[in-house]
Amino acid sequence: MCMNLTFRQIKVFQAVARHLSYTQAAQSLHLSQPAVSMQVKQLEENIGLPLFEQMGKKIYLTDAGNEFFNYSQEITRLLDEADEVMESLKGIRGGKLSVSVASTANYFATRMLADFSREYGGVTISLDVTNRRGLLDQLINNETDLVIMGRPPRDLDLVTEPFMDNPLVVIAPPDHPLVKEKNIPMKTLQQETFVMRESGSGTRIAMQRFFSEQGVSLTTGMEMTSNEAIKQAVEAGLGLGIVSIHTLELELETGRIALLDAESFPILRHWYVVHREGKRLSQAAQAFRQFVLDGAGGTLLGK
């Protein structure tokens, strides 16, 4: 049996069942008595059983009516619960946020998300840290709400908004002879061996563009797939490195790595918050995007 019920019929039935009176039910619902009687009749026809019986001037629930009343209360409870959840998703009290960040950005993105979570405690956050190729694939396949990355590509339909500087600096082991030099010229850097990020990474692309514009070619000693690996290699004396300054907080504090005062450095870039053009951002995603643009970057930089 398939019951084609409407929520209106259920609400009318519940009112009649509570009052055991068509007249009082009609008054509570601000309907006419014939309208209430018609809704109950249609409901009984859909179910195929009488829900009320009349004895004298009084009406009573039948066995089927009692059973259906119990189910109708559960239906109403579930619908009310669903309504609360949907309303929370419309606001910032609840909902889900999916953010993907470049591996370099993870050094500050986790702190930024923690600050956001303290302000919007009801939002469930999913964070994915991956390389540039992974971020682009997720944007193309619409697999994430927002992406935090370096310079976005121009050949994709994206909304890109810069929110924080991302300076690239030259790093060396603390005992390297160039550490004491000032305004180190490009021709001197050209004589050094560099530990590089893998081809296709945002940092590598920015380096190649910069040195090509300067007419300089660098000697690559090793390629690494993470900034942590580059820092460890530089610390071990395997070469110089170029990384985002945002990855160096701990190493600079402990003196394990030194910055070089090199000509034309730092390479000035930006961090961007990015999403697919036309994507309908949830309230939680809109709130996080605005949170980032309204100064999370300034806080992270200690401004």
The CATH number that applies at residue 121 is: 3.40.190.10
Residue 193 has pLDDT above 60, yes or no: yes
In this predicted structure, which of 9-23, 53-67, 271-285 has the lowest mean pLDDT? 271-285
Which residue, of 31, 63, 90, is where some domain finishes?
A: 90
Closest CA to 167 of 48, 287, 259, 65: 259
What would the two tokens of residue 46 be? 């859909």
Same domain, 195 and 245: yes
pLDDT of residue 297: 45
* Nearest-angstrom CA–CA distance, 134 and 175: 37
Same domain, 283 and 160: yes
Same domain, 140 and 193: no
pLDDT of residue 292: 93
Give residue for tokens 């591996």: 103
pLDDT of residue 301: 42
Same domain, 146 and 275: yes
Indicate the average pLDDT of the chain.
87
| 244 lies in some domain | yes
| 1 lies in some domain | no
Q: What total of structural domains would you count in the chain? A: 3
276: DSSP letter: E
Closest CA to 17 of 45, 39, 2: 39
Same domain, 161 and 274: yes
pLDDT in tens, 22-47: 999 999 999 999 999 999 999 999 99
pLDDT of residue 88: 61
pTM score > 0.85 for this model?
no
The radius of gyration computed from the CA coordinates of the chain, to the nearest angstrom, equals: 32
Which residue, of 46, 68, 90, is where some domain finishes?
A: 90
**Which range of residues forms the domain containing residue 63?**
7-90
pLDDT in tens, 88-116: 666 666 678 899 998 888 888 998 999 99
Same domain, 174 and 159: no
pLDDT of residue 25: 93
pLDDT of residue 60: 95
